[in-house]
Structure 1
């Protein structure tokens, strides 16, 4: 139920906004796996055009934070404050995806950014999906972590349930609430979210004990780095990270959603399909070009031309 709700909401948001969307991303800092946000929404600004020209893939924050700029090329080892093997790995990956370009001098690699990394987004919105509020699980704890940490500008609870005053009283006042009907794509704003303090020190709740709660203080600098990481992972990853049913009943609904024609519903092929299903009949999954669909429906560009420029003085390396 939650999978179908989640991908339906992503499809709706992609069709009605210009946001960059991704699903199931680590949204904590001290212990990244401590909080997995269901949907990360990145609200781009005008600099998105520059970002789309660089690469379709995620740019690692280690490359962004390095001493490599768009001006004079620098020796790759001098550009990183980390272990040389880590520096080499980041350098190789940044060259591979087109964020760094390389020049050689005396057998050494000198690198620079193909373009100055743009601050291409304005805001991040985190969405926690809970279609059925009668089964909240640890919803309150998750939302309190989001609010106290302040990685996202806004946090929203999305549900299919009728929302009562009792429901609202159990979650932080800062959290917005949407009621979303995945069948007809209707979204009702029950409560607007409040702006969270993203530029201040945050508190990451780690573990609750009977008499105390373990926490970690997260600086504004750490939060900004995490925000950039979330934005980049969202840009490169997207939200269509699922497989399609390899079954005669498998199909793709509008927006490339995995669908079962026998049961008439969206399905998570990794858990709902296979020999455990009595109606399963092996077949090739539907052919769906998810990258082309994402390119058509969002600001993301599948095959950018890239940025090629000439830097005066580079001939001294040859």
Structure 2
């Protein structure tokens, strides 16, 4: 059983498992980047796994660790090798050129293109070709307790995922029941969606050996349509999604929770660090852990005035720790041969 009784803890464990063990039941052949709670205006996925080209991912590093939004991508991907007026160099964006000009200035400020002024014209030049670093996008919906009602609620969303085909594969991750036939196989889910079950030891907080064990109960179909490589709009949307995942990484929960509360703790669960509330004596949800929580107590000022190892208070120490872990995972994947 995952810690606590909320899907939030299960989601964090799935993300951490994907960082260390993707793809399921086979050896890793390419670096992966994992993000959570990412998607489009119409659909948000619990977990997104990017399978990347090793050389392309290393080359992407030249453009910095922050994401390139759609406007910046338009500039960076089409910037010429030699100096040229930006309106000659870039394809017509379909919206006013003044927005492109603003994006050119932002790109130059970020150092992802070079810019100069020749008379009344702004010229640009690329710093390097934008690499083809993305191989595949895998979307995972996390439902630890996949009963009939949960399956009915998910079915429409999963059918949307299959039809839009922004992801190459779509999975549902659920908790293993240990049955000979997992109940998830009997639910009414789209046949193209894979089913992954994770066996999780609720007492697995003492060491690195207590890792979730994943089993594939149903393999997904490749849902990317034929000829997608020639669909510029579809490719652009996938790349924008991948850029958001690249910039945000495994979105850390400290951004939406209150680690500056004196009751906020981190507990090790295998290789994952999960939040825990000492006041509630359990793992809390992101929605619970807010300033409106009746148990919320800011850290005493004396805590924040101490030096090493907390340097500003345990809350700041937790943020630094989670940020370093996230950066270390990304660096490891970029440097993977």
Structure 2 length as normaliser, TM-score? 0.73
1:101-128 per-residue CA deviation (whole Å, 9 max, x = no partner) reads 2122225321122110101021110011
Q: Are the equivalent residues in 2 in contact too, given 1:258–1:269 (CA < 8 A)?
A: no
Partner of 1:29: none
Partner of 2:72: 63
Q: Please, which moves more after superposition, 226-235 or 157-166? A: 157-166
Deviation at 1:85, TM superposition (A): 3.0
Deviation at 1:158, TM superposition (A): 0.7
Counterparts in 2 of 1:154 and 1:37: CA distance versus 1, 3 Å = same
Partner of 2:325: 293
Q: Are the equivalent residues in 2 in contact too, given 1:22–1:234 (CA < 8 A)?
A: yes
Counterparts in 2 of 1:73 and 1:2: CA distance versus 1, 3 Å = farther
Partner of 1:156: 171
Deviation at 1:271, TM superposition (A): 3.2
Within the alignment, does 1:228 sit opposite 2:246 as a pair? no
Partner of 1:245: 259
Deviation at 1:248, TM superposition (A): 1.1
Q: Please, which moves more after superposition, 235-244 or 48-57? A: 235-244
1:185 corresponds to which of 199, 212, 219: 212
Q: Please, which moves more after superposition, 176-185 or 264-273? A: 264-273
Q: Are the equivalent residues in 2 in contact too, given 1:251–1:259 (CA < 8 A)?
A: yes
Deviation at 1:262, TM superposition (A): 4.2
Q: Please, which moves more after superposition, 176-185 or 233-242? A: 176-185
Counterparts in 2 of 1:117 and 1:8: CA distance versus 1, 3 Å = same
2:298 corresponds to which of 279, 282, 285: 282
The residue correspondences of 1:160-175 to structure 2 (distance < 5 A) are: 160=175, 162=177, 164=182, 167-175=185-193
- Looking at structure 2, the residues matched to 5 and 103 of structure 1 have their Cα atoms a distance apart, in angstroms, of 50
Q: Runs of 4 or more off by more than 6 Å in structure 1?
A: none
1:233-284 per-residue CA deviation (whole Å, 9 max, x = no partner) reads 1001112243243211212345554332444544344533444344x32225
Counterparts in 2 of 1:109 and 1:60: CA distance versus 1, 3 Å = same
Determine which structure has the larger strand proportion and give its number. Answer: 1
Q: Matched residue of 1:138: which SS?
A: helix
Partner of 1:113: 126
Counterparts in 2 of 1:122 and 1:168: CA distance versus 1, 3 Å = farther
Q: Matched residue of 2:265: which SS?
A: strand
2:43 corresponds to which of 26, 30, 35: 35
- Looking at structure 2, the residues matched to 166 and 251 of structure 1 have their Cα atoms a distance apart, in angstroms, of 33
Within the alignment, does 1:267 sit opposite 2:284 as a pair? yes
Q: Matched residue of 1:225: which SS?
A: helix
- Looking at structure 2, the residues matched to 112 and 10 of structure 1 have their Cα atoms a distance apart, in angstroms, of 38
Determine which structure has the larger helix proportion and give its number. Answer: 2
Structure 2 unpaired stretches of 5+: 1-5, 23-30, 203-210, 300-312
